[in-house]
Amino acid sequence: MSLERDAALNIAKVLTEALPYIQRFTGKTIVVKFGGNAMVDPELHESFARDVVLMKLVGMNPVVVHGGGPQIGSLLEKLNIHTEFVEGMRVTDAQTMDVVEMVLGGSVNKEIVSSINRNGGKAIGISGKDGQLIRARKLKVSRHSPELQAPEIIDIGHVGEVDQIDTEVINVILESNFIPVIAPIGVDSHGSSYNINADLVAGKLAEVMQAEKLMLLTNVAGLLDKEGQILTGLSTEEVDALIADGTIHGGMLPKIGCALDAVKSGVASSHIIDGRVPHAVLLEIFTNEGIGTLITNRRGS
């Protein structure tokens, strides 16, 4: 059999495998959090943009939420603005918040929009401040110290959490056949801006929109068991058990918590996928094997 025929048969196999997923997810909303290596590696950036364009072309409604921590850190360093972190979160004073808005709502957001448009899509960039999409409240961090009997409450400035989401502006964008690209900046009732963790924004957005899927791109292969093997096809009960026995710990806890909350709140499935793999989004949606950790509420599936 010729190499050309082998290649053609392989393409046919891939398309045939993808077809039922295309049929199943046509018209469904899929919220994708874009971050990590995929944002800073030009080839991965382009492959992500093509994935999103293809999703839209086959009838899905992708909604992109992006981070931008490394880009923020790089500009703060260039501007000689000192940064410190508390419990893994950047202390954000007014000057730092100006830089966060400039990077997230400006350069990073527009770069993603341009990449999608360059690959044949139609994207519109917004921040959570537009149309009062994300109403935020100040996040207070508790830090336990052996010297203190009670936890220390720390004010880390313009760092927020989601208070509520009004999806009107996103619905208008989707109805106009555009792809929304959202910077995770919220605003409170007094008009103050807050930087919010992009995973949390994506999770809350998926909940409010009752999305079919929440997909979180990371710099790891997925959720690993104690032997280092990828876990997938997990129910919410199984994830709760893995948290309880310490399998899920450290930096993975907030991400898993976000994915778990989304599924418990009505999102059909959450996926934690390896953004270092080209076309990771398509591989997770359109293939039987997938490429990361799938969490679903089996009682509802």
Residue numbers belonging to the annotated binding site for substrate = 68-69, 90, 195
Residue 106: count other Cβ atoms within 10 Å of its Cβ.
Answer: 14
3-state secondary structure string, 218-238?
Answer: ECCCCCECCCCCECCCEEHHH
Enter the DSSP assignment of 92: B
Supply 178's token pair: 């555009």
* Torsional sign, CA 123, 129, 135, 137: positive
Supply 89's token pair: 């979160």
Question: Which amino acids are annotated as binding site, given as ranges?
Answer: 68-69, 90, 195
Maximum Cα–Cα distance across the chain? 75
Distance (Å, whole) CA 103 – CA 109: 8
> Letter for the amino acid at 298?
R
- 30, 202 in Cβ contact below 8 A? no
Beta-strand relationship, 269-274 and 234-235 = unpaired
Dihedral of the alpha carbons of 255, 257, 261, 263, in degrees to the nearest 10? 70
Beta-strand relationship, 292-296 and 269-274 = antiparallel
- Run of H or E including 195: strand 193-196
- 198, 162 in Cβ contact below 8 A? no
Residue 99: count other Cβ atoms within 10 Å of its Cβ.
Answer: 20
